[in-house]
Amino acid sequence: MNSLPVVIPKDINKYFFNRKKEISQINANLSLLDMDVANQFLITGYRGVGKTFLLKKILNDQPDKYLTAYIDLSKIYGAQKGELTEEKVIKEILDKINETINKDEKLYDNIKSHITNFINQLKLKNYDLSNIKLTHIELPEIKDNYLKLSKFTMELPQLIVDSSPDIKGFIIVIDEFQLLKSLKKPDAFFWLIRSYSQEQFNVSYIFTGSVSQTGEIINMINGQNGAFGGRMLQFNIDPFTKDQTKRYLNERLSSLKFTDGGFERFYSCTRGIPAYINSLASILPSNIECDEEIIKETLLLNVDQIVIMWLYVWGSLTSIEKEMIIFMVENEHVNWSLLARELNYSKSTITKYVDSLLNKGIIEHTFNKEYVLSDKMLKTWLEIKYENDGIYPA
């Protein structure tokens, strides 16, 4: 029997399925780097839909003429206990560029003198870069000059391309970009990237994250008045359709059988989101037909295992955010006025935490100006926990 991964596996090609259309569209636009056209990308989608899996597949498959770097902001955010700063983000970008350079001695030899000259021109000082080592290039210590650090980091990818005849472009993925909203001035950070990227012809940035399409951060980065002013190429990664889900399970877990009603219930529970498909399918009994009752019972008994990604998210939320989510679980037609009337918080506090939940992709703002949970599985998990334990998770 084949198995389904519940985390991103080392061998991405072995477990990757579908997404041919998205890969083709994104790669077609990345290929314009050869013609000195650097598109910038914004890729969104539900949590667990496979954005990171897709982006890692795309990066792994790039030809050698394109250098790539992958920055996971959630690692910095977690390591800094939620205290994300511009300096930490810039240093992480520089660190990942450094990793890319160090993989290729020939590339390093081509760019060493150019980077050394660049450092001398900037006269970097007073900034601690002790953890960043561009092989044998000595980076001076700088402690309080963010302007020069950011200039060095943001100009470095294009400098590398210009210094290497065999390199045609640099692709930089910034994953979980919605966490940038926690910066003191996130809009200024987006404008920083915009100010450099608009003058670079061989560097493409791909921002990706689980964020509501109506989230403030979307407008901040790519809205009409945002840093990129709608010029980013925006893709939303959709869940699998019923047909795609059937083909995926038949190909990857052929021992799993359903009655017609059982599959309908399975798809209703997972909504075609690969993370849920893999988690639920992996614990269902094989070689017997799973009907609606088997699906329901398995979900009830193993809900924590199925929604494992929400356990981490829930633990990272504030008490006010949790209270708002529970209110939306227990009530229908929730709008801003209802939240302000029923919850004992000031209007500014309500606005602050509603925006936070929108930017984290946990709630959505519907066309009739109501707030709903973006993922029904979160609602299901909370309801099951309350029914079983008599209280909601802390």
**What does the pLDDT read at residue 123?**
54
| Distance from chain centroid for Cα 12 | 17
The DSSP bridge pattern shows strands 257-258 and 66-72 to be unpaired
* 108 vs 302, residue with greater confidence: 302
Q: Which CATH class is domain 19-115+147-237?
A: alpha beta
Structural tokens at position 97: 């560029």
3 state DSSP class of 40: coil
Closest-CA residue to 290 (of 308, 266, 273, 268)? 266
pLDDT-derived band at 13, boundaries 50, 70, 90: confident
Beta bridge partners of 334: 371
| Distance from chain centroid for Cα 314 | 17
Q: Which CATH class is domain 313-389?
A: mainly alpha
**What does the pLDDT read at residue 109?**
73
**What does the pLDDT read at residue 121?**
62
**What does the pLDDT read at residue 137?**
44
**What does the pLDDT read at residue 98?**
86
pLDDT of residue 141 exceeding 50, the answer is no
3 state DSSP class of 374: coil
Interval 201-243: pLDDT, tens: 999 999 999 887 767 889 999 999 999 999 999 999 999 999 9
CB 62 within 8 A of CB 89: no
* 11 vs 62, residue with greater confidence: 62
Interval 63-105: pLDDT, tens: 999 999 999 999 888 877 778 899 899 989 998 998 898 887 7
pLDDT-derived band at 111, boundaries 50, 70, 90: confident
Question: Cα-flanking dihedrals φ and ψ of residue 59, to 5°?
Answer: -65, -40
Mean pLDDT of 366-376: 90
Listed in sequence order, the residues at least 6 apart from 368 whose beta carbon sits closer than 8 Å to its beta carbon are: none
End-to-end CA distance of the chain: 38
Mean pLDDT of 310-334: 95
Average pLDDT, the chain: 88
Which amino acid is present at 213? Q
**What does the pLDDT read at residue 334?**
96
pLDDT-derived band at 142, boundaries 50, 70, 90: very low
In angstroms, the CA 192 to CA 209 distance is 19
pLDDT-derived band at 2, boundaries 50, 70, 90: low
pLDDT-derived band at 120, boundaries 50, 70, 90: low
3 state DSSP class of 377: helix
CATH of domain 242-306: 1.10.8
DSSP for 301-357? HSHHHHTHHHHHHHHHS-HHHHHHHHHHHH-SSB-HHHHHHHSSS-HHHHHHHHHHH
pLDDT of residue 127 exceeding 50, the answer is no
**What does the pLDDT read at residue 1?**
42
**What does the pLDDT read at residue 136?**
44
pLDDT-derived band at 122, boundaries 50, 70, 90: low
Q: Please state the domain extents for the chain.
A: 19-115+147-237, 242-306, 313-389
**What does the pLDDT read at residue 247?**
95
**What does the pLDDT read at residue 206?**
98
How would you classify residue 333: left for phi > 0, otherwise alpha for psi between -120 and 50, otherwise beta?
left
Interval 232-275: pLDDT, tens: 999 999 999 999 999 999 999 999 999 999 999 999 999 999 99
Listed in sequence order, the residues at least 6 apart from 245 whose beta carbon sits closer than 8 Å to its beta carbon are: 266, 267, 270, 272, 277
Q: How far is CA 58 from CA 54, 214, 270, in A?
A: 6, 27, 25
Name the maximum alpha-carbon separation found in the chain.
70
